[in-house]
């Protein structure tokens, strides 16, 4: 296989990549889109070869594009040089990134996690906002967390918005999905502490003892942690707030907790 040039928006590969903006399509194909040479290079370096690689003329000679092309073709994928118009349609942006990769989604099973392998782990209950989720994955990567566990019905970690916000960390951090019931059962075998975060908690997050490994449980953007989830923890803590804001943004609160506990 070699690199082909594509100029038509009706090209079947272009149509298939555009369709990955829809969750239904991502769920059915198990694929997702990562935009930008940095994101694509992260994927390639961590052993995730693109199934499709699209790039504009300007990026064609970049050494990292060449490396991504080689990885794509070696894995039997399709590498195509496309027009600016196609990149703009695929990214839904007037100023698109010059390189776009399509990768296979990866989810890790709850039972495959090795709690002693990291000091801090993150669980998100019913996270709704893809920007929050992507930012949390990026922070979890930066801090060396073991995984991000999505509990209950959550937004898609492989949506274009979430992947954009991870800045490449989507390839580095294990992502786990679990129902509330599965999480409750699995949590019973957790060897360290499970730490809930609640606006109404009495314990200041700086005062709690966090036995390692610590699993931080964060609530949903609107409702926070419901009582049945808060009951699964060893301790529930609050991050003190001194001004008029009634809560912190979920990704900010998660970042504070990851670094406070870690
Ligand atoms: N109205 C929601 C509530 O009553 O919890 C606000 C949710 S807040 C935007 C999203 C999540 O961030 C919360 O469920 C909690 O996990 C965390 N969070 C935000 N501010 C916090 C704080 N000051 N202390 C502890 N956790 C906080």
Q: How remote is the CA of residue 80 from the centroid of ligand 1, in Å?
A: 45
Q: Does ligand 1 have an atom closer than 6 angstroms to the CB of 224? A: yes
Report whether pLDDT(237) > 70.
Answer: yes
Q: Provide ipTM, 2 decimals.
A: 0.99
Question: What pLDDT sits at residue 229?
Answer: 98
Cis omega (within 30 of 0) for bond into 213: yes
Q: How remote is the CA of residue 193 from the centroid of ligand 1, in Å?
A: 19
The first and second tokens of residue 237, run together, are: 């803590």
Binned at pLDDT 50, 70 and 90, residue 1 comes out as low
pLDDT digit string (tens) for 81-104? 999 999 999 999 999 999 999 999
Share of the chain above pLDDT 90, in %: 97
Question: What pLDDT sits at residue 262?
Answer: 87
The first and second tokens of residue 257, run together, are: 């907790």
Q: Does ligand 1 have an atom closer than 6 angstroms to the CB of 248? A: yes
Ligand 1 atom closest to Cα of residue 196 = 16
**Protein residue with its CA nearest to atom 3 in ligand 1:** 224
Q: How remote is the CA of residue 166 from the centroid of ligand 1, in Å?
A: 21
Angle between helices 37-45 and 63-74 (to 10 degrees): 50
Three-class SS string for the chain?
Answer: CCCEEECCCCCHHHHHHHHCCCHHHHHHHCEEEEECHHHHHHHHHCCCCCCEEEECHHHCCCHHHHHHHHHHHHCCCEEEEECHHHHHHHHCCCCCCCEEEEEECCCECHHHCCHHHCCEEEEEECCCCHHHHHHHHHHHHHCCCCCEEEECCCCCCCCHHHHHHHCCHHHCCCEEEECHHHHHHHHCCCCCEEEEECCCCCEECCCCCCCCCEEEEECECCCECCHHHHCCCCEEEECCCCCCCCCCCHHHHHHHHHHHHC
Task: Indicate whether this model's pTM tops 0.95.
Answer: yes
Report whether pLDDT(118) > 90.
Answer: yes
Q: Does ligand 1 have an atom closer than 6 angstroms to the CB of 62? A: no
**Are residues 48 and 104 in contact, defined by beta-carbon separation less than 8 angstroms?**
yes
Q: In CATH, what number does 4-104 get?
A: 3.30.1330.30
**Tokens 């039997």 appear where?**
76
Question: What pLDDT sits at residue 61?
Answer: 96
Domains of the chain by residue range: 4-104, 110-261
CATH 3.40.1280.10 at 110-261, yes or no:
yes
pLDDT digit string (tens) for 44-77? 999 999 999 999 999 999 999 999 999 999 999 9
What's the mean pLDDT when you consider all of the chain? 97
| R_g (Cα) of the chain, nearest Å | 20
Question: What pLDDT sits at residue 2?
Answer: 86
**Are residues 95 and 56 in contact, defined by beta-carbon separation less than 8 angstroms?**
no
Q: Does ligand 1 have an atom closer than 6 angstroms to the CB of 238? A: yes
Closest C-alpha to 247, from 198, 210, 190, 209 = 198
Q: How remote is the CA of residue 113 from the centroid of ligand 1, in Å?
A: 26
pLDDT digit string (tens) for 188-207? 999 999 999 999 999 999 99
Ligand 1 atom closest to Cα of residue 219 = 14
Ligand 1 atom closest to Cα of residue 237 = 25
Distance CA 195, CA 122 (A): 10
């Amino acid at each position: 296989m070699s690199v082909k040039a594509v100029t038509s928006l009706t090209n079947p590969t272009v149509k298939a990549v555009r369709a990955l903006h829809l969750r239904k399509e991502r769920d059915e194909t198990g694929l997702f889109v990562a935009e930008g040479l940095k994101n694509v290079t992260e994927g390639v370096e961590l052993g995730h070869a693109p199934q499709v690689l699209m790039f504009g003329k300007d990026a064609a000679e970049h050494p990292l594009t060449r490396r991504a092309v080689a990885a794509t073709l070696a894995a039997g994928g399709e590498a195509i040089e496309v027009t600016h118009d196609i990149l703009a349609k695929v990214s839904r942006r007037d100023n698109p990134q010059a390189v776009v990769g399509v990768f296979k989604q990866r989810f890790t099973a709850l039972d495959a996690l090795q709690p002693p392998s990291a000091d801090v782990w993150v669980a998100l209950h019913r996270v709704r906002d893809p920007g929050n989720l992507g930012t949390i994955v990026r922070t979890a990567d930066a801090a060396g967390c073991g995984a991000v566990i999505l509990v209950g019905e959550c937004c898609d970690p492989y949506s274009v918005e979430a992947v954009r916000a991870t800045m490449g960390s989507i390839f580095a951090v294990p992502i786990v999905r679990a129902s509330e019931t599965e999480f409750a059962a699995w949590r019973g075998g957790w060897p360290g502490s499970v730490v809930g975060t609640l606006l109404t908690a009495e314990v200041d997050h700086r005062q709690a003892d966090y036995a390692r490994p610590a699993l931080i449980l964060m609530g949903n953007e609107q409702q926070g942690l419901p009582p049945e989830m808060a009951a699964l923890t060893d301790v529930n803590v609050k991050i003190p707030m001194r001004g008029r804001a009634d809560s912190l943004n979920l990704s900010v609160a998660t970042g504070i907790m990851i670094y406070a506990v870690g």
